[in-house]
Amino acid sequence: MALILSALVPLGYVSASATNDFGAGWQVMPNAGSSGALLDAVSCMPQADCVAVGQLLRNTFIEQSDAAGWSGEKSPDPAVSPGINTLAGVSCWSASQCMAVGSFTRTSTCTFSPGSTCRFRGAIRALVESSNNKRWSATEPASLAADDLFSGVSCSGSRTCMAVGHSSGPAPESRTLVESWNGSKWSVMTNASVPGVLYGISCATSQACAAVGSNEGRPLIESWDGKRWAVAPTGATPTTPDAYELDAVSCVSGPYCTAVGYTDGSGPDRPVIVHQAGASWTLVSSPNMATGVLQGITCSGLAACTAVGSTGFDNSQALIERFVGGRWVMVAGAPATGAELSGVSCSGVPQMCTAVGSYTVRGATRPLVEKNT
């Protein structure tokens, strides 16, 4: 698969207010988070139930929504103070079953399950937590090496999940880390290990996945065809204007995926969107913005995607873009100071979307949940 960097898809960007032909506007939703918390990812079911994950001070943070609103869930962190635990990705295949991934640190010993103990001092480890009927438990990943972590996960059922991240270890460079779940244990997919890091993954089926990230300023894309992982050549180098990283990807039925990220050159960060249709990945012209990043995306069809991020890293505002009817549209999100959105999930007909992230109030970080209502 080739990523065509020179040919820009003739898809226009137009401004839109918070209320437009995609439905009603976005608004901030009350949630169970407190000061010091942030949300990194969200997964929603057609019944509009959602699970969002992130970090609260030194601990993982999990919220779940239903008809009554958002509520906090007890998280089974394997580490205790002075450890640091965070969840960066979540994928649900039913209203009561989800898989969440991230990382944790620990200075003594940890126990995932009876008879399973790991020991290390001050290292980062991959973290997996799963839920069944709103009861969360820690699951042991295949890799217990130091300096491994997960950034994203995608599940197509209780016996089929893929988690991605990277491993630093003793090697001079980071290498991608991909593990698969078969319903009872995780296994490392060694043929997916290449130089670089992976931030996001999406599986349309158990036989079709795409994972995205970066390698020294170059975009990195790996695809799974049910038998092996393969790297898509991109052609971008750290010194070209096309240098960028990809943070998230969403795939629908067939070989059709959309990935988002931001430029990684010497100038200001700008949003990046790439489309896959068949064997080709194509860079789409970005909106005319001075700065901005895209960190999350969800697609429910070949021409229905929503991407989220922020207008920049300093004094930012939430950024929401939608692709409907052959064009990308910038949509005004609910106003929030110092806000950024890092994950989004849409479900149902008409399509309802929930985006999560964080915002700052008097120097304190708080979780942010926005929803198109």
Q: Is the pLDDT reported for residue 165 higher than 70?
A: yes
Res. 169: pLDDT tops 90: no
Structure tokens at 76: 């089974």
The answer to which of 82-86, 110-114, 120-124, 265-269 has the lowest mean pLDDT is: 110-114
pLDDT reading at 24 higher than 70: no
Q: Give the mean pLDDT of 224-244.
A: 72
With a pLDDT cut of 90, the percent of the chain lying above it is: 39
Compute the average pLDDT of residues 1-13: 32
118 compared with 147, residue with greater pLDDT: 147
- List the structure tokens of 74: 């007890």
DSSP assigned state of 121: S
Q: Vertex 299, ends 159 and 163: CA angle to 5°?
A: 35
**Going along 21-119, which residue ranges are E strands?**
26-28, 37-44, 50-56, 59-66, 69-73, 85-94, 97-106, 109-113, 116-119
pLDDT digits (tens, 9 = 90+) for 276-301: 877 778 888 666 677 889 999 999 87
Check which CATH number belongs to the domain holding 143 and give it: 2.120.10.80
Q: How confident is the model at residue 335 (pLDDT cuts 50, 70, 90)?
A: low
72 pLDDT exceeds 60?
A: yes
The answer to whether 252 touches 261, Cβ cutoff 8 Å, is no
More confident residue, 11 or 67: 67
Select the more confidently predicted residue: 128 or 284.
Answer: 128
368 pLDDT more than 70:
yes
Q: How many CB atoms lie within 10 A of CB 7?
A: 9
pLDDT of residue 241: 54
* Token couple for 275: 């489309």
Q: Are 175 and 149 in contact (CB under 8 A)?
A: no
In angstroms, the Cα distances linking 371 to 31, 72, 334 are 12, 18, 9
Total domains in the chain come to 1
Per-residue model confidence (pLDDT) at position 364? 84
Residue 108 in tokens: 């003594």
Q: Look up residue 275 and give its amino acid.
A: H
Instruction: Tell me: pLDDT of 118 over 70.
Output: no
Among 140, 143, 145, which residue's Cα sits nearest to residue 123? Answer: 145
pLDDT of residue 331: 85
* Single-letter amino acid code for the residue at 64: Q
Tell whether the model's pLDDT for residue 113 goes beyond 50: no
- At 119 the pLDDT is 47
Q: In terms of pLDDT, which residue wins out, 107 or 262? A: 262
> Would you give the end-to-end CA distance of the chain in angstroms?
38
Contact (CB, 8 A) for 298 and 287: no
Of 180, 154, 153, 157, nearest to 165 (Cα)?
A: 153
pLDDT of the residue at 361: 81
Residue 115: what pLDDT? Answer: 47
Query: Tokens 């069944």 sit at which residue?
Result: 132
Tell how strand 175-181 and strand 26-28 pair up. unpaired
The confidence score (pLDDT) of residue 122 equals 56
Residue 61: is its pLDDT beyond 60? yes
Most confident of 60-69, 219-228, 257-266, 303-312: 219-228
Residue 240 has pLDDT above 60, yes or no: no
DSSP string, 92-107: EEETTEEEEEEEEEES
Segments forming the whole domain that contains residue 159: 2-372
State the Cα angle at 192 between 187 and 196, rounded to 5°: 120
pLDDT computed for residue 235 by the predictor: 52
pLDDT tens sequence across 178-223:
999 999 999 999 989 999 999 999 999 999 999 999 988 788 999 9
**pLDDT for position 229:** 95
pTM listed for this prediction: 0.87
Q: What is the pLDDT of residue 162?
A: 97
In this predicted structure, what is the pLDDT of residue 321? Answer: 92
pLDDT of residue 256: 87
